[in-house]
Every structure is written in C-alpha cells, then in structure tokens.
C-alpha cells in the first residue's frame, strides 16, 4: 500500500481510504437513484411547474414608464417623472431602492407621492422598514460592504419613522398588463429581493424557466445598477431597467430608465438615457459629507465601489 492518499498507483480514493478502482466504481454505480425515462420526464416537468402567485394584476395600459434604484437622487427622480409624462406614460413604476449613495433620502418621498409612482420594496426598503442593521445588498467583498454600510447608516439616520413605515406598506412585487402582455415587476429577481440579474450571468434557458415558473410574459427588475434587455426565443422579455440613482459605469454621467408600450407585434421596450442636474447632486452630497468615492461616480460616470459583485464581462468594461 502506498503511504499517501495522493500516491494512488491505480487505486481509488474512497473518503480517507484507498480501495481498488473497481470497488469504488461498483459502489458508485449502485448509489443514487436511476429513474425510468417516464419518471425523469415527470421530474423535469414538475421542476418547471408554475408557482401560485396571488399578486393582483394592474392595468391594462398601453404605455408605462419603469425605473429602478433612486438612491436618494431626487434630481433624477424629478427629471424622470417629467420625462415619463412627456412620453405619455399612463402609469409610472419604481422597482425599489429609494435610498443609498445620495443625500437627504426623505426628499424623494413627496416626489413619489405627488408623481403617483407605483413602487415596490427593494432590499433597502425591506431593511429600513424592518429595522435591519444592514442593507442586505448581497455584497461579498469587504470593501464593497464597507461603503454599503456607510450609505445604509446615513440613509437610516436621515429617514423618519413615518417614511420607513411607508416603505413597509409597499408591495414586494406587482403584476402589470401592458397591451396583452402580463409583466412581473420585482426588485432583484422573482426569487430573491437581492439576487443580481446581470446580463452576462442571466442565460436564456435560466430566464425561460423563471418566466415559466412565474407564469408571465416578461420580467422587469433592477438591483444590479446596470440596464439591459433580452428578448427570449419564446418571445417573452426580460428587462433590467437599470437605476436612476447613479450612472451605469460606462463613463457617461446620465442614468437610465425604461419605457414599455403595447405594439401590434407585441411589447415595445426602450431603454432610455436621462440627464439630470448631476452637479447639483454632487454638491449636495459633499454638503452632506458623503464619501468622495460616491461623488466621483456621479461626476465621472464610473463606479468606484460595489465593483466586486460585477461578473467578469461587466467588470472588464469597467474603469476600476
């Protein structure tokens, strides 16, 4: 017998033992389930089966505006409300994360109410309304978490109990009909408020199953901060509306929102850039002594924090 487990010389490793290859292979062959072809087909079918969702259906509309991640950017919020009206939106939806990064979080509240914005809770609202000690953004890197903490603490300290309670009254998802298409509006994904749906890590087969399970013709989400749109082979749509709170890490200072409209051929999806008073925002952030890293992003269009969560492709397009 060899002394070391790593010196096999034709033997197999079974836990901490070395055994003849044939012994391991035999044990493996006998382990686990071997379903019949019919049982396998049934298992695959059940797996993708729709889950019941009591969310009421809103609409139908012929044209709506959708935006995500306000991040206390009341300048961009005011702008997007005007732009949505100018473009004939019959309803305006916000996908959550009203606070973070930006100054004076409570300023967005009257704008949302007066603008009749139909919002859902993001992870920020869930955390603030329930008194959580962190934003539950889902970051894994210590530097990302450091800046996430600064921004969450500031937002929590500068939001009134009334505002936080109002956040808690917002639904977690909405279903909206645009033309004959039924759209599911969520913050992260239909599965988790803080799941990141980036373009390069949200493959078509995954999205198709997600749509099957949630019985809808389209999903609208945010949370990543980066906008994208994918029309699936089934004709359904997944739209990450991006965020109006900070630019999209591409060196441009504008932010992004989405317009959706009923068209004869189906759903029209437009992702649109939005300019706002970014210098005003930067000045107010400095007055509030928010980290210069956050201000830099507003002024340059490049992210300086929350970068480690980016997948390889999105990170390669990033400056930092």
Partner 1 sequence: MNTPEVTLKSLDTLWFQVGGTVCNLACTHCFVSCSPTNHTHEFLTLAEVRRYLDEASRLGVREYYFTGGEPFLNPEMEAILEATLAVGPATVLTNGLLLDPARCASLKKLAAAAEYSLDVRVSVDGYDAESNDAIRGAGTFERILVGARNLHEAGLNPVITVTEVCREAITDSGKEKFFALLRSMGIERPRLKVLPVFQIGAEAERGGAYESWQHLKEEDVPEGGWDHLQCSSCRMVTDQGVWVCPILVNEPSAKMGETLADTLGAFPLGHSACWTCHVYGVSCRT
Applying CB under 8 A, the residues found at the interface with partner 1 are 4-10, 12-16, 21, 24-25, 27-35, 39-41, 43-44, 47-48, 142, 191, 200-210, 307-308, 311-316, 320
DSSP bridge partners of 113: none
Residues 139 and 114: their CA atoms lie apart, in Å, by 33
Query: From the CB of 35, what's the least distance to partner 1, in Å?
Result: 5
| Burial environment of residue 91 by CB neighbours within 10 A (0 to 12, 13 to 18, 19 or more) | middle
Residue with smaller CB distance to partner 1, 18 or 253: 18
Contact present, 71 and 225 (Cβ < 8 Å): no
Residues 240 and 210: their CA atoms lie apart, in Å, by 14
Residue with smaller CB distance to partner 1, 55 or 213: 213
Query: Angle of helix 292-300 relative to helix 142-157, nearest 10 degrees?
Result: 100
Residue with smaller CB distance to partner 1, 132 or 315: 315
Query: From the CB of 75, what's the least distance to partner 1, in Å?
Result: 30
Residue with smaller CB distance to partner 1, 31 or 161: 31
Query: From the CB of 147, what's the least distance to partner 1, in Å?
Result: 15
The 10 Å Cβ neighbour count of residue 290 is: 20
Residue with smaller CB distance to partner 1, 133 or 308: 308
Q: What is the DSSP letter of 108?
A: H
Query: From the CB of 102, what's the least distance to partner 1, in Å?
Result: 26
Residue with smaller CB distance to partner 1, 56 or 205: 205
Residue with smaller CB distance to partner 1, 115 or 225: 225
The 10 Å Cβ neighbour count of residue 194 is: 17
The enclosing H or E element of 110 equals helix 108-114
Residues 169 and 130: their CA atoms lie apart, in Å, by 11
Using DSSP, state whether 91 is helix, strand or coil: strand
Query: From the CB of 129, what's the least distance to partner 1, in Å?
Result: 19
Residue with smaller CB distance to partner 1, 51 or 161: 51
Which residues, including other chains, have CB under 8 Å from residue 134's CB and lie 6 or more apart? 127, 148, 149, 152
Query: From the CB of 310, what's the least distance to partner 1, in Å?
Result: 9
Query: From the CB of 160, what's the least distance to partner 1, in Å?
Result: 30
Query: From the CB of 299, what's the least distance to partner 1, in Å?
Result: 21
Give whole-number Cα distances, 144 to 251, 314, 315, in Å: 20, 16, 14
**CA geometry: angle 98, 87, 94, nearest 5 deg:** 15
């Amino acid at each position: 017998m060899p002394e070391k487990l790593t010196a096999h010389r034709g033997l197999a490793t079974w836990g901490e033992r070395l055994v003849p290859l044939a012994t391991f292979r035999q044990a493996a062959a006998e382990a686990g389930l071997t379903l019949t072809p019919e049982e396998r087909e049934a298992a695959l079918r059940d797996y993708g089966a729709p889950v019941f969702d009591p969310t009421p259906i809103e609409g139908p509309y012929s044209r709506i505006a959708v935006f995500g991640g306000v991040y206390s950017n009341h300048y961009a919020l005011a702008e997007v409300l005007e732009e949505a009206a100018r473009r004939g939106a019959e309803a305006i939806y916000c996908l959550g994360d009203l606070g973070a990064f930006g100054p004076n979080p409570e300023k967005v509240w009257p704008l949302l109410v007066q603008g009749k914005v139909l919002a859902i809770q993001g992870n920020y609202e869930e955390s603030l309304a329930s008194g959580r000690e962190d934003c539950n953004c889902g970051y894994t890197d210590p530097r990302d978490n450091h800046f996430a903490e600064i921004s969450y603490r500031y937002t929590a300290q500068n939001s009134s109990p009334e505002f936080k309670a109002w956040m808690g009254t917002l639904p977690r998802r909405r279903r909206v009909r645009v033309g004959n298409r039924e759209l599911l509006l969520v913050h992260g994904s239909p599965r988790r408020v803080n799941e990141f749906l980036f373009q390069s890590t949200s493959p078509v087969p995954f999205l198709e199953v997600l749509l099957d399970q949630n019985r809808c013709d389209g999903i609208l989400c945010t949370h990543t901060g980066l906008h994208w749109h994918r029309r699936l082979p089934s004709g359904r749509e997944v739209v990450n509306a991006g965020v109006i709170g900070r630019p999209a890490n591409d060196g441009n200072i504008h932010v992004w929102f989405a317009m959706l409209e009923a068209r004869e051929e189906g759903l029209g999806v437009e992702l649109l850039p939005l300019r706002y008073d970014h210098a005003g925002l930067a000045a107010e952030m400095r007055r509030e002594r928010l980290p210069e890293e956050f201000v830099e992003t507003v002024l340059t269009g490049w992210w300086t924090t929350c970068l480690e969560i980016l997948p390889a492709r999105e990170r390669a397009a990033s400056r930092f």
